[in-house]
Amino acid sequence: MVDCDICQILKNKAAFKFIYEDELCFAILHESPAIVGHILVIPKKHAAILEELDDNIIEHLYVISNKISTAIFDTLGAQGTNIILNNGTAAGQELPHVVINILPRQENDNIKLEWPTKKVSDAELKTTQSMIKSYSDNIFSGKDSLPNIKIKQETKVDEDYLIKGLKRIP
């Protein structure tokens, strides 16, 4: 897409730290990383959320993410990795293009991704289960007839690192 900041990365490769590229996806180092070695894996096809991508692209993205995660274990001495996809603005997604974050993890690295768990009763779980099951069988069996999800997108233009990167044209 012409006005997508992430799609623009491919037009100005020299401004970014590419560590991998093939016909379907590419991977770059985050320029303002959560931790040293923070990587972004990005599909070349423009898609705002995961649900808009075909199965073969999703398979490819995660197979490559796994290889990158393995390379992080091998070369950066990481003792763990996180692979995170924030899907939709409500999930903290900042630009309307699917991005997978890969984080190398170390002991005492000060990254807090653990969530406070909610106490729920068996009855509440049963209610949630039946709410999801009211339509999920259609989705899993491929008889899904609901329209595609449109997620509200708000783009923060002022100080995004990717835009900053784009401006840094040599």
Partner 1 sequence: MNPVNLDNLSPEEILELQRKNCIFCKIIKKEIPSNLIYEDDKVSVILDINPANEGHCLVLPKEHYQILPQIPDDLIGYLFNIAKKTSRSLLKTLGVEGTTIFVANGALAGQKAPHFMIHVIPRHKGDLLFDIPRNRIEEDQLNNIKTKLSERIAALTGKRIVDKELEKTEKKVSKIKSAEKKKQKNLSKKDKALDLDKISGLFS
Contacts (CB under 8 A) with partner 1, residues 14-53: 17-22, 27, 29, 31-37, 39, 50-51, 53
Binding partner 1 by CB under 8 A: which of 15, 48, 68, 162? 68
Task: Name the DSSP letter for residue 59.
Answer: H
Query: By C-beta, is 8 or 109 nearer to partner 1?
Result: 109
| 116/169 with CB nearer partner 1 | 116
- Minimum Å gap between C-beta 85 and partner 1 is 4
Q: Which of residues 99-158 bind partner 1 (CB under 8 A)?
A: 101, 103, 105-107, 111, 113-120, 124-126, 128-129, 131-137, 139-140, 144, 146, 149, 151-152
Give the SS3 label for residue 167.
helix
Cα angle 8, 10, 12 (rounded to 5 degrees) comes to 75
Length of the chain: 170
Give 1 or 137: the residue with its C-beta nearer to partner 1. Answer: 137
Q: What phi and psi values does residue 149 have, to the nearest 5 degrees?
A: -80, 130
CA separation for the pair 11, 15 (Å, rounded): 10
Q: Can you tell me which of 71, 96, 97, 162 binds partner 1, judged by CB under 8 A? A: 71
Handedness of CA 89, 93, 95, 99 (dihedral sign): negative
Of the pair 1, 17, the CB lying nearest partner 1 is at 17
Straight-line distance from the first to the last Cα atom of the chain, in angstroms, rounded to the nearest whole number: 24
Beta carbon nearer to partner 1, 11 or 140: 140
Cα gap 132→142, rounded to integer Å? 16
Asked whether position 168 contacts partner 1 by CB under 8 A, the answer is: no
